[in-house]
A and B are shown apart, each in its own frame.
Chain A
Amino acid sequence: MPMKALTGNEAMAEAMRQINPDVVAAYPITPATEVVQLFANFVADGRVDTEFVAVESEHSALSACIGAAAAGGRVMTSTSSQGLALMHEMLYIAAALRLPIVICGINRSLSAPINIHCDHSDTMGSRESGWMHIFAEESQEAYDSIFQAIKIAERAYLPMIVSTDGFIISHCMQRIDMLEDKEVQDFIGECKPHHSLLLTDKPYTVGPLSLQDYYFEHKRQEIEAMMQVAPIIDEVGKEFGDKFGRHYGLFEEYKLDDADNIIMAAGSAAGTAKVAVDEARDKGIKAGLLRIRVMRPFPYKQIQKVLKDKMIISVLDRSDSMSTMGGPLFIETRAALYDTETHPPICDYIYGLGGREIDVENILSVFEKGEIYKKKGVEKKLAFIGVRE
């Protein structure tokens, strides 16, 4: 396998090149710009067969993707932050039309105040749009996950976002163990859509009006489709692992088995949390990590199983829900645990908004607080890490 030193964005662009999609329609935005720019170079240099559509906005980018996917093409794009927000209307349409589009997402905060750095507000804000979503911890996982996303999306007939943390991962160079172009093509296989607007002998209607009479049935089908997804993600992750040696599932457990003091996180901070787990264990804390990889669908059943007997669960959220109940990862995990008989204590920490750094000491202090909560119970349901008080 070839080995390359690539930034997260370069790794994503390389993955797109190896996939060689039929259509890419995209509009650049920091910190995802490079993905689009590098891919446009591949098109200009004749290294892919892709029809590249340079559009005037992200709304148009996803609109063009929807048209191309409805025509039966394998379709990808890349965006971030305000770009994803501008796509919001079209996100729901892509999902409800059951079009397997894949977005290479780079997580960045939302304005205002204007900020180009990482948090998870953008993709978390899209979590009810019907898109499947993988938070990659780092570039190798992002690279590997994009191939899986193509396969999962085309099997589930739902679109998928694979995202990395803006700058922290997107602009960090690291070693990437790459696949050969042929290995990628063999893994993703040929795109075989059920329907295509271009097949005039098999005509179908896309996006018709459906009012009180049928809208509900259409939506019900979409909900049912999402319910079928988790095993597909597991299957494709296993297939990838068996072929290439790197296995992926709905979430990752790090020293979770015998742990009683748990942190839950997604994205790059989960990597830093692994170092914190080791340091906490050196101090005698039975620390463990559950790293959420798949946020949509939310793997609540599997989470119940591994967390139900833990003594304290501290969730790290890189966005808030503005519900006053905490961040989205916390709210959903807590809801999942409601169905357990044990109701393990759980609390939330909002961290890293607008790119505020989180380090090993920050996370270690959460484990230490967890030790106190284990004895005294949770004193503060919602707290903040690294913010001026």
Chain B
Amino acid sequence: MNKPFEIRWHGRGGQGAKTAALLFGDAAMVTGKYIQAFPEYGPERMGAPVQAFNRLSDERIYIHSGIKNPDIVVVLDETLMKTQPVVKGLGKNGILLVNTKSTPEDIKKSYNLKDIKVYTIDASGISKEAIGKEIPNTPMLGALVRVSKILDFDSFIIDVTNKLKKKFRGREKLVDGNVKSIKRAYKEVL
């Protein structure tokens, strides 16, 4: 069996790491992939560091433990870079995607990161403008689709719009704001 493609999300309780993982997994499933999307099974507390996980594969997935050697790490809250071992297990040429106003070079320098590709996006800023609230998870999805190069962006947008319509039934503005922020982040990720 081949090793599935693995993504580890780091966020804080309430930032939507789990929801983002579920949306990404669902969109990948629609393209015919086998997927897993699950949160860390710890206590859930608002503001506490949390993890969520995605596995994607063209074959059935057998492994059922947390992700220790991800291909991509997504960080929803830059302050976690200081307190959590977010890049732990990220191999050579692994990808780190951070929600921050800083550039990739700044992040690399600040946290002394070598041998990995760093991408940054101001997902918090985008969500504040597009949704009116700081909900960085959906813009991060747009950036993730861009840097992971696994999913076709147009079909991703169609699937995620359907899912958001279901989630926010009747609240069109919220759906539009989320979709807008995903599109913006897809374009603006550095």
Binding site for B on A (CB under 8 A): 3-5, 117, 138, 165, 167-169, 171-175, 268-269, 271-272, 274-275, 278, 355, 357-360
Contact = CB atoms under 8 A, between A and B. Distances in A.
19 contacts: A5-B22, A5-B25, A171-B38, A171-B39, A171-B41, A172-B64, A173-B26, A173-B35, A173-B37, A174-B34, A174-B61, A271-B63, A272-B64, A274-B1, A355-B41, A357-B66, A359-B65, A359-B68, A360-B63
Interface residues of B, number: 22
B62 A275 contact: yes
Contact of B65 (A138, A173, A175, A360): A360
Contacts of B35: 5, 173-175
Given A172-B37, A175-B33, A269 B64 contact: yes
Interface in B83-139: none
Given A173-B26, A174-B34, A175-B29, A358 B65 contact: yes
Nearest to B34: A175
Contacts of B36: 172-174
Nearest to B38: A172
Given A173-B36, A355-B41, A359-B65, 16 more contacts: A3-B29, A5-B26, A5-B35, A138-B64, A167-B41, A168-B41, A168-B64, A171-B41, A173-B26, A174-B34, A174-B35, A174-B37, A175-B33, A268-B64, A271-B64, A359-B66
The DSSP consensus for interface residues of chain A is mixed
Nearest to A176: B29
A271 B37 contact: no
B144 to A, nearest CB: 17
Contacts of A117: 41
Given A171-B38, A171-B41, A278-B1, A272 B26 contact: no
Contacts of B63: 271-272, 275, 360
Contacts of B65: 272, 357-360
A359 B6 CA distance: 15
A138 B34 CA distance: 13
A175 B28 CA distance: 10
- Most B C-beta atoms less than 10 A away, residue of A4, A174, A268, A360: A174
Contacts of B41: 117, 167-168, 171, 355
